Structure 1
Amino acid sequence: MNRIRILLLAGLIAAAPMAAPSAHALEIQARDPLMGSLRQERAREESREGRRLSASEVARSVSRGREGRMLGINERNMGGRPVYVVRWEYPGGRVADITVDARTGAVIGER
């Protein structure tokens, strides 16, 4: 009977960290507003106010003059500024990540 109690207690202790965000995750969220749950709403608001391009505008911009197809687009924070990372597949199958400044639309890099 004691074994069962010990196993149940060990299971509860192991599952406890999954129930709530860690202190580290909360600290990152506090330091980096793009990591917060309001990230998409903030992006929409900044796009409406003309302070940031929308993901669809960035996708159209990257598509112009580039052969291949877009596989996906993600919003990130790079050194305190919002960026979009566009995953692009070129003819022949090569896949690249194209980093675009969310405010200016300038391509920052490709790898």
Structure 2
Amino acid sequence: MKRRCHITALLGAALLGTAVPVAAIAQDYGRPVLGADRGDQTRARDGVRSGRQAPLSRVLSMIAQRTPGRHLNTTQGDAGGRPAYFVQWQLPDGRVVVFVVDAESGQILGRQGG
């Protein structure tokens, strides 16, 4: 019932042209909402080319060496005022964790979920 109310609210807001924080709705169900857009890809590419940002391939390799599983998705944002990668990773048992990685140094800052 709660889910139906959220979906109804989301659809109603979309029809009215009002922005609804989708992440807030999805958090009720324990699912991380992550999805890269073209802006994320462009910022990452520009950052790597200029040397300001660690390549995502290096970040993913580092995570894979430490944690079995597979890469699902990555978005960019900031963590503590610094640019960060948010890497969604599926563990062998099916659980999903999100690694927060400093985009400049490539160091893992933390892990959520799982």
Normalized against structure 2, the TM-score is what? 0.57
Question: Is this contact kept in 1: 2:72–2:88, CA < 8 A?
Answer: yes
Cα displacement (A) at 1:76? 1.2
Match of 1:60 in 2: 61
SS of structure 2 residue aligned to 1:64: helix
Match of 2:46 in 1: 45
Distance in 2, Cα, partners of 1:38 & 1:90: 28
Distance 1:87 1:45, change over 3 A: same
Structure 1 residues 9-58: Cα deviation after superposition (integer angstroms, max 9, x where no partner): xxxxx86x57xx9xxxxxxxxxxxxxxx8654343222112210122222
Question: Is this contact kept in 1: 2:40–2:75, CA < 8 A?
Answer: no
Normalized against structure 1, the TM-score is what? 0.59
Cα displacement (A) at 1:78? 2.1
- The amino acid that maps onto 1:66 is T
SS of structure 1 residue aligned to 2:66: coil
1:95 and 2:103 aligned: no
Question: Is this contact kept in 1: 2:98–2:111, CA < 8 A?
Answer: yes
SS of structure 2 residue aligned to 1:105: coil
- The amino acid that maps onto 1:51 is R
Mark the runs of 5 or more structure 2 residues left unpaired by the alignment. Answer: 1-14, 20-37
Question: Is this contact kept in 2: 1:59–1:73, CA < 8 A?
Answer: no
Distance 1:38 1:93, change over 3 A: closer
Distance 1:83 1:94, change over 3 A: same
Distance in 2, Cα, partners of 1:38 & 1:105: 20
Structure with bigger helix share is 1
Q: Size of the alignment, in residue pairs?
A: 80
Cα displacement (A) at 1:68? 1.1
Give the share of equivalent positions with the same residue, in percent: 35
Root-mean-square deviation (CA, aligned residues, Å) is: 2.4
The structure having more radius of gyration, on CA atoms, is: 1
